Amino acid sequence: MIPVGSYFRLLTDYLRPQRAKVALLAVVLTGVIGLQLLNPQLIKQFIDAAVEDSDASQLIPIAVAFIVIAIAQQALAIWSTYLAEDIGWTATNLLRSDITEHTIRLDMGFHKGKSPGELIERIDGDVTSLSNFFSAMMIKVVANGALIIGILVMLARESWIVGLGVAVFTLLAMAVMTGLHQVAVPWWKAVRATSAETYGFVGEVVEGTEDITANGAAPYMNERFDDLHRKWLPQTVRAWMGWGIMWSTNIVLYGLSLTLVFALGAWLFGIGTLTIGSVYLVFHYTEMTRYPMDQIRNQLEDLQKASAAIDRVSELLAKRTQLKPEGDTPVPDGPLSVKFDRVDFAYTDGDGDSQEIVLHDVSFDIAPGRIVGLLGRTGSGKSTIARLITRLYEPQRGAVSLGGIVTWDARVEDFRRRVGMVTQDVQLFRASVRDNLTFFDATVPDEQIVEAIHRLELDGWLASLPDGLDTVLETGSGGLSAGQAQLLAFTRIFLEDPGIVVLDEASSRLDPTTEALIERAVDHLLEDRTGIIIAHRLGTVIRADDILILEDGRVVEYGERIALIGDPNSRFSQLLTTGMEEVLA
Ligand code: ATP
Ligand code: MG
């Protein structure tokens, strides 16, 4: 059965802001129903008057009234359709932005577990299939139910036998249709699930085109694409078959109902209970039950398509972020201290199940304005520390404090604004360099951007761009070299003016000129800020005040760089003598 309760909540939540329009729609629909019931009465009068051989002067007013009412009814019907669509789309747009907002606020663990295509299908595809659900699905069901009851009452007024006969038949027909509906619902669910899976797959493949092509995996991907379609097609055929069976059953039922009324009408006319006008009226009303029955059936069908979507949308909305609820302590200006207090961390998948522990009991305290070089083998947890500082994840145990404030005591946005991070692979957007630098914030004036570039001594880089700030980049690596992308990312952060800068250095090697540019830019970037530099080259850690070395998620050394150099037993001095690449790679 349809879980009316939960649907009703979703419905009322999103229709409440449009109460007035919904009420107007109800009024208009009542008008449409009233006029629909009224008009056949005029036909009956017309026929009976004509049979009695009255002159045309009596018939003309009836005919004119009939036409006026018919036109009015159509006008109201158009208006009601317009209103219903308007309500439906307003509600779905609201829902769409709510889900988007909700999803964005979920933690990184959730996002890693979902492919972009799947989320698009959820936020756009599923919600679109809900538009009719909101566009007065319930209202239409109620209105058409009312119309059918109205028709039955009108029929009973002509003859209670006919009224009763048609009522019983209608109930039976409804029962049959509802039964069929229940069989078909799971079939649609399967179709929607496979379609989401397919789009998820396509999104993933498109994103990885370069790797897939380079590794010759294209045939394999094609094969999987085929497999998905081989699953999708029969499911779709089955679902539409379900629809077809409902449709044809409906036609057969309609034929039976007309037969019933013809027989009853002929009999009642024969014994003189009904006039010829009444027989026509009965026939006409019975025929009229077909449209509302169709409508109800269509609505139920839409609901069966929508119910899977509703379930998934509700599930998504119910998904709670793994991040702790945030407080609203203001975050101070200027350089911020960074403190890890006995932090344990494991990545969790989308459902919150923990995997292997990545950080063990990590504690360190960085004073504001200090620059720390973070070293460690690949996989030792360096980038993970950076992600905890930007609060993409929450530690399972212990706490991270910035500027003396535990991260969850302040608003996520406030903290992220104060932390600038350059990741190992800089994400660029298919947009101008300007938009890439400002993250599409059009209020940042060009002078400010140029000034930032100048302060980072990157004027040469700017001059090398063919169209200056208007140069359009491609997505992904953006047609820039890794070094150039880093420079762009530095400028991005410089514009943000954060109190903490986290540089997760790309492990790729750069040409000496770019490297020199980067070195200078980093110096400027770190002026008067707390810096955490995740370094793969010794050259990069030369500027660090302190050195922190991680091994398998544990801090194995933390101290002043100069002091560590002076101590021949320190890991850092061993690194310096053996060469970092040999030890860390
Ligand atoms: P590198 O020098 O290669 O950048 P790293 O020190 O930055 O390495 P991390 O990225 O912090 O290493 O990874 C630490 C551990 O966490 C690794 O074992 C890695 O497999 C795991 N890990 C990293 N990201 C995720 C993720 N999103 N989900 C699950 N496990 C992850
Ligand atoms: Mg890393």
Residue carrying the six token digits 């800068």: 501
Which residue puts its alpha carbon closest to atom 16 of ligand 1?
Answer: 358
DSSP state of 559: E
Determine, yes or no, domain membership for 276: yes
Whether residues 149 and 49 share a domain: the answer is yes
Rounded Cα gap, residues 166 and 153, in angstroms:
11
Is the entire prediction scored with pTM above 0.75?
A: no
- Evaluate if residue 235 carries a pLDDT over 90: yes
Tell me, yes or no, whether 353 and 283 share the same domain: no
SS3 call for 296: helix
Final residue belonging to a domain, choices 318, 346, 362: 318
Q: What per-residue confidence (pLDDT) applies to 119?
A: 84
The last residue of one of the domains, among 318, 346, 370, is: 318
Would you state the pLDDT for residue 350?
54
Give per-residue pLDDT as tens, 287-319: 888 888 778 877 776 776 677 788 888 888 888
CA of 373 to the centre of ligand 2 (A): 14
End of a domain among 318, 347, 365? 318
- Residue 409 domain flag: yes
Q: Average pLDDT of 54-60?
A: 79
For residue 585, is pLDDT > 70? Answer: no
Q: Which atom of ligand 1 is nearest to the CA of 550?
A: 6
Question: Looking at residue 133, which CATH number applies to its domain?
Answer: 1.20.1560.10
Same-domain check for residues 37 and 147? yes
The yes-or-no verdict on residue 76 having pLDDT over 90 is: yes
Q: Return the pLDDT at 477.
A: 59
Using left for φ > 0, alpha for ψ between -120 and 50, and beta otherwise, residue 136 falls in left
479 and 573 assigned to the same domain: yes
CA distance 320 to 328: 19
Q: How far is CA 233 from CA 118, 121, 240, 381, in A?
A: 19, 18, 11, 45
Q: Per the domain annotation, does 328 fall within a domain?
A: no
**Which ranges of 398-533 does DSSP label H, i.e. alpha helix?**
412-418, 433-438, 446-455, 459-464, 482-496, 512-526
- Judgement on whether residues 61 and 191 belong to the same structural domain of the protein: yes
Confidence of residue 361 (pLDDT cuts 50, 70, 90): very high
Band the pLDDT of 4: cuts 50, 70, 90.
low
Rounded CA separation 283/257 (Å): 10
Q: Which ligand is closest in space to the CA of residue 357?
A: 1
Q: Tell me what the mean pLDDT of segment 497-521 comes to.
A: 82
Whether residue 42 is predicted with pLDDT greater than 50 in this model: the reply is yes
For the cut 70, the answer to whether the pLDDT of residue 501 exceeds it is yes
At 512 the pLDDT is: 80
- What interhelical angle do 56-105 and 290-318 show, nearest 10? 10
**Cα 205 to middle of ligand 1, angstroms:** 23
Q: Is the pLDDT of residue 1 over 70?
A: no
Are 342 and 307 contained in the same domain? Answer: no
Edge to edge, the sheet with strand 500-504 lists 419-422, 500-504, 530-534, 371-376, 546-551, 554-560
Average pLDDT, the chain: 85
**What do you get for the CA distance between the two ends of the chain, in Å?**
60
Neighbours of 182 (CB within 10 A): 12
Kindly state whether residues 236 and 264 are assigned to the same domain: yes
Q: Kind of pairing, strands 546-551 and 371-376?
A: parallel
Residue 256 has pLDDT above 80, yes or no: yes
CATH code for the domain in which residue 577 is found: 3.40.50.300
Average pLDDT estimate for 253-280? 88
Q: What's the pLDDT at 282?
A: 87
Residue 323 in domain: no
More confident site: 75 or 192: 75
- Per the domain annotation, does 133 fall within a domain? yes
What separation in Å is there between the alpha carbon of 379 and the centre of ligand 1?
5
> Would 580 be classed as within a structural domain?
yes
d(CA 36, CA 146): 12
Q: What percent of the chain has pLDDT over 70?
A: 94
> What is the phi/psi pair of residue 386, to 5°?
-60, -40
Same domain flag for 288 and 390: no
Residue nearest to atom 28 of ligand 1 (CA): 347
Q: pLDDT at residue 583 above 60? A: no
Q: What angle do CA 378, 206, 423 make, to 5 degrees?
A: 30
Residue at 281 is within a domain: yes
Same domain, 224 and 349: no
In a domain, 93, yes or no: yes
- State the distance from the centre of ligand 2 to the C-alpha of 347, rounded, in angstroms: 14
**558 vs 516, which has greater pLDDT?**
558
Task: Tell me the two tokens of residue 571.
Answer: 């890991």
313 and 343 belong to one structural domain? no
What lines the ligand 1 site, CB under 6 Å?
A: 112, 347, 358, 376, 378-384, 424
Confidence band of 531 (pLDDT split at 50, 70, 90): very high
Same domain, 118 and 220: yes
Mean local confidence (pLDDT), 515-522: 84
Number of domains in the chain: 2
Cα–ligand 1 centroid distance for 463 (angstroms): 37
Of 348, 353, 357, 384, best ligand 1 pocket probe by most atoms within 8 Å of the beta carbon: 384
Ligand nearest to the Cα of 382, by number: 1
What's the domain range around 418? 338-584
- List pLDDT tens digits, range 80-130: 889 888 888 888 888 889 988 888 888 888 888 888 888 888 888 888 877
Residue ranges of E strands in 494-563: 500-504, 530-534, 546-551, 554-560
Which residue among 351, 383, 394, 556 has the greatest number of ligand 1 atoms within 8 angstroms of its CB, and so is best to mutate?
383
Based on the fold, state whether residues 420 and 559 are members of the same structural domain: yes
**How many whole angstroms from 194 Cα to the centroid of ligand 2?**
35
Q: Ligand 1: which of 110, 380, 551, 556 to mutate, judged by most atoms within 8 Å of the beta carbon? A: 380
What's the pLDDT score for residue 374? 93
Compute the distance between CA of residue 467 and CA of residue 479 in angstroms, rounded to an integer: 14
- DSSP helix/strand/coil, 378: coil
- 171 burial via Cβ count (<10 Å: 0-12, 13-18, 19+): exposed
Give residue 581's pLDDT.
59
Point out the ligand 1 atom lying closest to the alpha carbon of residue 109: 27
Q: How does residue 514 score in pLDDT terms, banded at 50, 70 and 90?
A: confident
Q: pLDDT value at position 349?
A: 65
